[in-house]
Structure 1
Amino acid sequence: MTTHESTTAWRELLETLGGLDASFLVGDRAVTDDRHVADGYRMLATTLGVAFDTYLFADPSRPTWVEINTPVRPDRRWGGDNTDAYYLMCPVDPTRRYRISGNRGDSVYFSVTAYNEPSPGAWSDKIVALVRDDELELDADGNFSFEIGPTPDAAVLMTRDYQADPRTGRPVEWRIEALDEPDSFRHGDAETAAALRASAAWMRTMFAIVPLAVGMRNDDARSLGHETAHAANEFAEPYQVFDANFGWSARDSCYSYGSFVLADDEALVITHRPPACRFWNLVVWNRFMATPGVADARSSINGHTAVPNADGSVTIVLSKGVTAHPNSLTTLDYPLGNLAFRWFLVDGVPVRPEARLVKASDAPTTVG
């Protein structure tokens, strides 16, 4: 019988898929809420789709943007989900030149970042280039065009497009074209096998990170991705992203991560003192860094939609349901999960947001 390398790689991928649910079914990271179990399987499907788009079907000599996070597609909610933003990804060849063009739409911040890939399917550990909207020449209609590359070590480009209100705002229009002749078309046995193995590696890394802990233990040594030590119902100290990073963080942003554990009659009152910045938001995640049910609940708030207090601070009330507070966020009845603050283009690391657990009946209902 003829043995094909792609056959072997396909069966290896199936074996990988068959074991990844152990990450959320057994051990100290096991989830118990039935919705989180279901979320785990949805995350398997989502991550497989993204892996195929970026490895199996991608061709850096014939570049195409791939949607990886959007406020509208339920199959693209993963890996640090953001309900105020659109993210696109495009694998590239570090020796090639590309032209990127488009229109800014209603974006309040947009950029393109180039990341490395330590090995096929491995997540980035270095930012190699960044092009931001305030570095571009835009015409009166918001159109832009620039070239990038050759860019040593670049394996993938990622766009960011943050909207004040993604329900009404026009996303950035992105185009990309290679300025060099494409490679001869081929996706044979060896190429397919390599792509399938890269896809499996991508997924193993994702499920080494999720499900996120809800309140880190002091003896928990995991440090991949968006995990920083904190107790439940509080935030970790904010931190600045540098060129050496894990995954696809933004160089010009700061992050602070937290978690919530709420009973039916409890609420988390969060006090945030926004620094001067281009954009900030707070997003509610399940334990897989995703925000389900976006169309049915308010699960994020940003500097454009938040109603401030008289002193400029922002009070946010998080509960399993919806409260009367103008900055009310809901967990969509999830009893526990994770929280993510991010700030773009801030002069210094922000002050850590405060969180206070109260009875839902005692939570504020108006701004202060």
Structure 2
Amino acid sequence: MTGTSEATTAFRELLDTLRDLDRTFLEGDRAVTDDRHVADGYRQILTTLGVALDTYLFAEPSRPRFVDTNTPFRRDRRWGGDNTDCYYALCPVDPTRRYRISGNRGDSVYFSVTAYNEPEPGAWSDRVVAIVRDTDLEYDADGSFSFDLGPLPDAAVLLTRDYQADPLTDRRVTWEIEAYDEPEPIRHGADETASALRASAAWLRTMFAIVPLTVGVRSDDVHTIGHEITQRANDFGDPYQVGDANFGWSARDAAYSFGSFVLEDDEALVVTHRPPACRFWNFVVWNQFMATHNADDDRCSVNGTQAVANSDGSVTIVVARGRLEHPNAVSTVDYPRGNLAFRWFLADEVPARPEVRLVRAADAPTTTS
């Protein structure tokens, strides 16, 4: 071979992207402030690279296969707003093809397949193209299902969601997919590889335009004048419902509320909300890269099946750096700062904003009210 191939050029561009990504969490307004988050930043870069290569370099849409992007147990798939209750899998698809999807529902309390667009190679979705929910399907006696999907103009990727009441014991959904038409010839030449590597680099840059998330500042450290509004830690934003137009791979069926925490060793957050009628909800502790720990590391989340409600139907969750005695207690695994998230699936209404109190850990409630 003479000269430099397009694949070589694109590979070196990808290396340049990787080399510069740590600036997003080492420098500027979003620089993280503790060694654990610095280390998490490097893990996040490599995790995101793995997902990007699964999506763009190794995928063959005419020979489809679902690949795990998040699970409750894989440390190399902790990213993008994950949680300890759900399995996510993706499959890039050809919008002109028809596919047969089959599987078994296992013990899932909610599952779906969502088709998303891709505005350009490597760009994150900004629109839901189609969604198939578990309630749309028919099942055999053993819980098996099958259905056809496509062609779906503008669809670029399918993403499955499978929420479990107890991921430590429950059976996940199994997924199979096949294309009806004959597969295309496999082309792994320089041009195809270069395009895939450039799309992967673009996907990485988009991810790190979002993370790390900020955590705001504590209210006891803030001084405001007049109507000045300050982003505060240890609080939640207003819940909102996802629409068909969205950014990233948000769940069309979900309402979300996001917050953050800054905690000393002897402090705790007491978070109370009133869950609406819904198929599933959970609360999760993230680091600043929207990632949590594995389900069997510690209790870093609680969901609607597990939670013990108060007598008035509300649910109180106690967050501390180590897990306390409350039945809905969760741990930050000693992280002093990070982010918090609620999600409610197929809710009858968008819930009210969760209430948060910062207390001494010794004063945190130990029982429901």
Normalised by the size of structure 1, how large is the TM-score?
A: 0.95
Match of 1:62 in 2: 63
Match of 1:72 in 2: 73
Match of 2:351 in 1: 350
Conserved 8 A contact 2:92-2:158 = yes
Conserved 8 A contact 1:318-1:331 = yes
- After TM superposition, give the deviation of residue 216 of structure 1 in Å: 7.9
Following superposition of structure 1 onto structure 2, how do residues 11-30 of structure 1 map, counting pairs within 5 Å?
11-30=12-31
Q: Secondary structure at the match of 2:16?
A: helix
Structure 2: which amino acid aligns with 1:40? G
Following superposition of structure 1 onto structure 2, how do residues 111-150 of structure 1 map, counting pairs within 5 Å?
111-150=112-151
Verify: 1:245 aligned to 2:219, yes or no.
no
Structure 1: which amino acid aligns with 2:149? I
Q: In the aligned structure 1, how far is the partner of 2:81 from the partner of 2:271?
A: 20
- After TM superposition, give the deviation of residue 139 of structure 1 in Å: 1.6
Verify: 1:198 aligned to 2:196, yes or no.
no
Conserved 8 A contact 1:163-1:169 = yes
Match of 1:47 in 2: 48
Verify: 1:277 aligned to 2:278, yes or no.
yes
Q: Secondary structure at the match of 1:131?
A: strand
Following superposition of structure 1 onto structure 2, how do residues 86-235 of structure 1 map, counting pairs within 5 Å?
86-215=87-216, 230-235=231-236
Q: In the aligned structure 2, how far is the partner of 1:280 from the partner of 1:183?
A: 41
Verify: 1:3 aligned to 2:4, yes or no.
yes
Show CA shifts across 1:262-310 (max 9, x none). Answer: 0111100000111100000001000000013542210000000001111
Show CA shifts across 1:128-162 (max 9, x none). Answer: 00000001111221110000000010000000000
- After TM superposition, give the deviation of residue 359 of structure 1 in Å: 0.8
Structure 1: which amino acid aligns with 2:148? E
Q: In the aligned structure 1, how far is the partner of 2:288 from the partner of 2:43?
A: 12
Tell me the matched-pair count: 357
Conserved 8 A contact 1:271-1:316 = yes
- After TM superposition, give the deviation of residue 39 of structure 1 in Å: 0.2
After superposing on structure 2, the runs of 4+ consecutive aligned residues of structure 1 that deviate more than 3 Å are none
Verify: 1:312 aligned to 2:320, yes or no.
no
Q: In the aligned structure 1, how far is the partner of 2:264 from the partner of 2:68?
A: 36
Structure 1: which amino acid aligns with 2:312? D
Match of 1:301 in 2: 302
Match of 1:339 in 2: 340
Show CA shifts across 1:20-70 (max 9, x none). Answer: 000000111001110000000000110001111111000100001110000
Structure 2: which amino acid aligns with 1:64? R
Root-mean-square deviation (CA, aligned residues, Å) is 1.2
Q: Secondary structure at the match of 1:295?
A: coil
Q: In the aligned structure 2, how far is the partner of 1:48 from the partner of 1:18?
A: 12
Q: In the aligned structure 1, how far is the partner of 2:76 from the partner of 2:214?
A: 23
Q: Can you give the 5+ residue segments of structure 1 that lack an aligned partner in the other structure?
A: 218-228
Q: In the aligned structure 2, how far is the partner of 1:216 from the partner of 1:181?
A: 57
Match of 1:363 in 2: 364
Q: Which range moves more in the overlay, 285-294 or 153-162?
A: 285-294
Q: Secondary structure at the match of 1:41?
A: helix
Show CA shifts across 1:71-119 (max 9, x none). Answer: 0100001001111000000000000000000000000000000000000
Structure 1: which amino acid aligns with 2:135? D
Q: In the aligned structure 1, how far is the partner of 2:346 from the partner of 2:188?
A: 42
- After TM superposition, give the deviation of residue 358 of structure 1 in Å: 0.6
Match of 1:34 in 2: 35
- After TM superposition, give the deviation of residue 230 of structure 1 in Å: 5.0
Q: Secondary structure at the match of 1:16?
A: helix
Q: In the aligned structure 1, how far is the partner of 2:297 from the partner of 2:87?
A: 19
- After TM superposition, give the deviation of residue 322 of structure 1 in Å: 1.4
Structure 2: which amino acid aligns with 1:262? L
Q: In the aligned structure 2, how far is the partner of 1:83 from the partner of 1:138?
A: 27
Q: Can you give the 5+ residue segments of structure 2 that lack an aligned partner in the other structure?
A: 219-229
- After TM superposition, give the deviation of residue 231 of structure 1 in Å: 2.0
Q: Secondary structure at the match of 2:101?
A: strand
Structure 2: which amino acid aligns with 1:263? E
Q: Between the two proteins, what is the percent identity of the paired residues?
A: 73
Q: Secondary structure at the match of 1:169?
A: coil
Q: In the aligned structure 2, how far is the partner of 1:345 from the partner of 1:31?
A: 35
